[in-house]
Amino acid sequence: MRCPHCGAVLKDEKILQLHLKVCPKREKVESPRDESPKMEIPVESPKDGGKYEVFYPKPDPYFLVPEDVKIELEIAEKLSQKHHINLLVTGQPGGGKTTLALQFAARYNRPCVVVDFGILQEPQELFHTTYLVSEGGSSRTDIRESGFVRGLETERCVVVLDELNRPENERVLNVLLPFLDGRGGAYIDYLRRKVTVAPQVVFIATLNEGAMFCGVTTVDTALRDRFREIYMPYLPPDYEVKVLMDRTGIDEKIAVCLATFAYKVRTSISERKVSTRQLITAAENYVAGDSLWRAVSTAIGHHNNPAWRQQVMEILSFQLPEKELVEWRKSLSQRGNYVRL
Ligand SMILES: Nc1ncnc2c1ncn2[C@@H]1O[C@H](COP(=O)(O)OP(=O)(O)OP(=O)(O)O)[C@@H](O)[C@H]1O
Ligand SMILES: [Mg+2]
């Protein structure tokens, strides 16, 4: 017995009916269950610019990577034509890990799906979502397959396993194992069918690890062993200047000041750095009319380690242009006015 949509061979009528509920190829109009006005059921339409789960990321002309990383990605692309490839992107927080995964998809014109592991609580959530459908005064539970399943069954898809070590329940990681090795798939009880990784699919996981991150779990050796690792370092100051100018329109003098400040923090304080993301936030604030010291202060936040913040602000004070420094000193010595919002 075959599914009329995807052609999958099914044992009997009962299995067929179950399969029809979740068949990825079923069309929206064919199932009255999909017609609930409140529920948008994504279809496999990767060329839609991101409206659905599977999408084509736009190329980002301002994203810079070390040459080594570019070579690693070229090799991954080449090898993925022979067998599945899994990449693990590590590095500093706010240093471009997630962007790297999306830009790999953009560079090779691949469809992409992002699975955010931080919101997964139980293993079954990796495969499907349940939702309530109201019909004529009664309601029932329906299920739809997840972006993870849609992505891995889409040829050439880049499946981004973002923040891999942040699921609520570590068992979420165990169910990944058969998808990341030679088995290339597994029978999933929740869906009552086999889920198979499509040709040339590339999994790219990202994670932040170390004592300073809370809510993270350890990625054990067996899982880690299935990945090739790519390290994404922070940009050197001269390249960070260029990125800040291109991304925010800030002038060169201020961009140099911000990038040098971040570089000094990164090379003199080991505990916590200032990220590219924070620098972009500071530059945006400045362009929007903030003073430079306040723009940086807002971007780095009132961290729960005041000693760290004080050290960082001290480093900033050596980088500020004279005019900015005078303004900062003035604000420290004056009691601020309170005004209506
Ligand atoms: N090398 C880079 N070139 C250009 N932009 C960068 C670079 N690195 C980071 N950025 C910018 O910094 C911001 C943060 O990047 P992204 O979210 O990819 O970092 P991340 O490492 O995934 O962060 P997190 O650790 O919080 O997950 C984005 O706006 C990104 O475009
Ligand atoms: Mg990220």
Digit-coded pLDDT (tens) for 280-318: 999 999 999 999 999 999 999 886 788 888 999 999 999
pLDDT in tens, 212-245: 777 788 888 999 999 999 999 999 999 999 999 9
pLDDT, position 159: 98
> Among the listed ranges 134-138, 154-158, 298-302, which one has the minimum average pLDDT value?
134-138
Residue of the CA atom closest to atom 16 of ligand 1 = 96
pTM score, whole prediction: 0.84
Atom in ligand 1 nearest the alpha carbon of residue 93: 25
Arithmetic mean of pLDDT, 14-37: 53
- Answer whether 94 contacts ligand 1 (Cβ < 6 A): yes
Note the pLDDT tens digit of each residue in 48-103. 444 468 999 999 999 999 999 999 999 999 999 999 999 999 999 999 999 999 99
Structure-derived torsion over alpha carbons of residues 156, 94, 227, 102, reported in degrees to the nearest 10: 0
What are the beta bridge partners of residue 90? 231
Nearest atom (ligand 1) to Cα of 243:
4
Any ligand 1 atom below 6 A from CB of 102: no
Q: Which of 103, 247, 277 to mutate to test the pocket of ligand 1 (most atoms within 8 A of CB)?
A: 277
- Going by alpha carbons, the residue nearest to atom 30 of ligand 1 is 96
